Amino acid sequence: MDAETALDDAYFDYCPWDFVGRASAGQRAAQDAHQRRLAESGARLGARCYVSAAAGVFTDTLRLGTDSYIAGHAYVTGEVTAGDDCTVNPYATVRGRITLGDGVRIGAHSSLLGFNHGFAPDRPVHRQPLTSKGITVGDDVWIGSHVVVLDGVTIGDHCVVGAGAVVTKDLAPWTIAAGNPARPLRDRRAQGGPRRDRPASGDLPGGLPGDLSGNRPGHPSDDLGDAVARFADRARAQAADLVARCWNPDTGRYADRPGAPATVRAHCDAVEIADLLLGSPPEQFAADEHAARLRALQDPGSGLVPEFAPDGGAGVLPAPAADGWIDDGTAEYHVLAVGYALDLLGSRLAQPVHVVRRMTVGQLLARLESLPWRTRTWSAGAWVDCWATGAHRNLELGVEDGEPGTLEALFGWLTTRVDPWTGMWGTAGSPAAGRLQLVNGYYRLTRGSYAQFGLDVPYAERVVDTVLAHGRDQRWFAAGRENACNVLDVAHPLWLAGRRGGHRAAEVRAWAEEQLTRALGRWRDGAGFGFGPAGEGGGGPGREPGLQGTEMWLAIVWLLADLVGVADRLAYRPRGVHRPEPARSPGFATPG
C-alpha cells in the first residue's frame, strides 16, 4: 500500500460521506469485503453505505439504510437499526438497543447508551444485572458533539441537541435542547417570534454553544431569568408532594385541594403537573393504570366525560338537544382535559366523541349561529373549543365525521365572522363592561381551532391591539386582582398572534415582565398556586392553592417567560391542554 492510498484510507475514516464519490477501485473492493464479513455476522446494509474498518462494530443486530455511514473509531454494539442518510461520526459510541430514523447525525465523541447497570448495595457493580429500555431517535435529528443520551430516552423528529448535552428525558419533536441535564430551549420552527434579541440557532458557531437565554449582559431580564430558574427548581422539588396532598387513598381519586370533592379535572391536572415538572405520571399509579381509569370515564353514548356524581359514583349527562348535542359545560371541558392527560400517558380516548361525529354541517352552522356571541362570548368560545377538540380526537382515532366537510365548515364560518377591527368574535365591549368576555372567549375559541390545528389566526396585529388594551384594565389586572383564567387569556393570544411578527413587541414584553414577576411570588411552598380571586360570575376555585391553579399558572409562567425571552430557564414546556404548539400538523388530515 503506497503512502497516497494510506492517506486516503485515513481520510475516509473521518469523512465517510465522501467515500462513494472519491474512493479508488481498490478501496471499494476492500469496503465490499469488509461489508461481506459484517453480513456474515447478520448485518444488513443498504446501498452506498460505508462502515470504517477502523470502527469497533460488534453488534448482535445491525441495520443501516441507504447512504448511511459509520466513521472510524466509532464503537457500535448491541441491536442498532438506522434509517437512510444517517451518520455516526468519529469516536461516537452507539451501544445497546438503538433505533435511528432517517437523516440522523450523531456528532463526534457522542454516546448513545441504550442500556444501564444496576447499582444495588448487595453486590459489586461489576456483578450487577444489565437492563435495556432502548433509545429511539426520530427523523431529521442532529445530535452535536460530546452529547450523552441515556437509556430509555426518545428524541422526537427534527430535534437538535447542543454540544455537551446530557439527555436524560424525552424530547418532543422540533425541540432544540442543550445543557446538563438537557433542557428544551426553543421550538426549532419558531424562528421569528417576539424574542428579537435571540439569534437563530443557525447563526451560532457549532450549533448551540453560548447563552441561548435571549438575555443581553446587563439587561433586566437577566435577573428575571435567574428568578425563573430558581422558581422552576423549587416547584420541581415539591411537585410530587403537592400532587400527593390532593390524593385521597380512601376514595382512590384526586381532589383539587384537600377537603374538596373528587373531580375528573383534578386527576387530569395531577397528570399534567407531574408530566411538566417530573417527566413522569403521578406516583399513585403507573401510567397504564392512570390511563385505564381516565378512559373508563367516557360515556359510551355521547363520547363525552361527565363529572363524578356527588356521592362519588358515575356521573350522569343531561338529555341531548334537538341537534344531538349535550349541553354540559363540565363534560365539554373534559374532552380537553381527559384527552390531553391521556396524550401525556401515552394513550388515547377509548372511543370517538360521538356528539361531534354525528353532527351534520347544517346542525353545526345552526349551533354556531345560536351561540351567545354578544352576551357570553366566553361560553361561545368554549363550545367551539370543545367541538373542535372532539373533531381532533376523532381524526386521531381515524374516525370520519358523520357528514364530510363539517370541520371545514367550522373554519369557514369563523373566517367569515371574525371582526377585522378587533381580530375577534363577538361584541367589542364597552367602557362599562370592558373586553373581558371578548378576550377570554377569543382564547378558548382559538385554542381549540386555529392553535390546535396549526393555522394562522386572522388579523393578528388587531388581536395584539385588542388584547393589550384589555391587559391594561385594572379591574382585572391590578396587583392582587389577577386570576389564572384572565392572565392566561391574555398571555396566550399575545404569544399566538405575536410569534410571527414584532407588532408592539416592547409593550407585549413589558406587560409579560410585570405579570411574570407577580406570578412567581404567588407560589405557596408545598401547595402550589391558587387560581386567584373569582372571575366574572364567580368562576374558578378561588385563592386556595390546588391542582387547577397550579396547572394553569405553570403554563402561564411558561408563556410569560417565553414572551420575555427566558422560558429556557424553566427547563419545562407545557404539553397538555395549554401547550403552545399545535396538537396536529397544519390541516385536517388523519395521521398515517
DSSP letter assigned to residue 49: -
C-alpha distances (whole Å) from 281 to each of 136, 243, 276, 422, 577 are 20, 11, 10, 41, 16
Query: Residue 46 in contact with residue 68, Cβ under 8 Å?
Result: yes
- Beta strand 247-248 with 104-106 is unpaired
CA distance linking residue 536 with residue 436, whole number of Å: 9
Radius of gyration over every alpha carbon of the chain, rounded to an integer in angstroms = 27
Scanning the structure block, which residue is given the C-alpha cell 395584539? 464
Buried b (16+ CB within 10 A) or exposed e, 135-157: bbbbbbbbbbbbbbbbbbbbbbb
From residue 258, give the alpha-carbon distance in Å to each of 98, 313, 315.
44, 19, 21
Catalytic entry in 34, 73, 117, 492: 117
Dihedral sign for Cα atoms in the order 572, 574, 580, 581: positive
d(CA 578, CA 176): 20
Going from the C-alpha of 270 to that of each of 142, 276, 291, 313, 444, the distances in angstroms are 33, 10, 13, 20, 22
Nearest Cα to Cα of residue 151 among 193, 204, 114: 114
CB contact at 8 A, 59 and 77: yes
Mention every residue, 6+ apart, whose C-beta is less than 8 A from residue 12: 18, 19, 22, 23, 27, 50, 52, 72
Residue 411 phi, psi (nearest 5): -65, -35
Told to judge if 117 belongs to the known catalytic residues of this protein, a careful annotator would answer: yes
Q: Which three cell numbers stand for residue 156?
A: 422526537
Separation CA 17–CA 13 (nearest Å)? 10
Strand pairing class (154-155; 166-167): unpaired
- Catalytic sites, residue numbers: 117
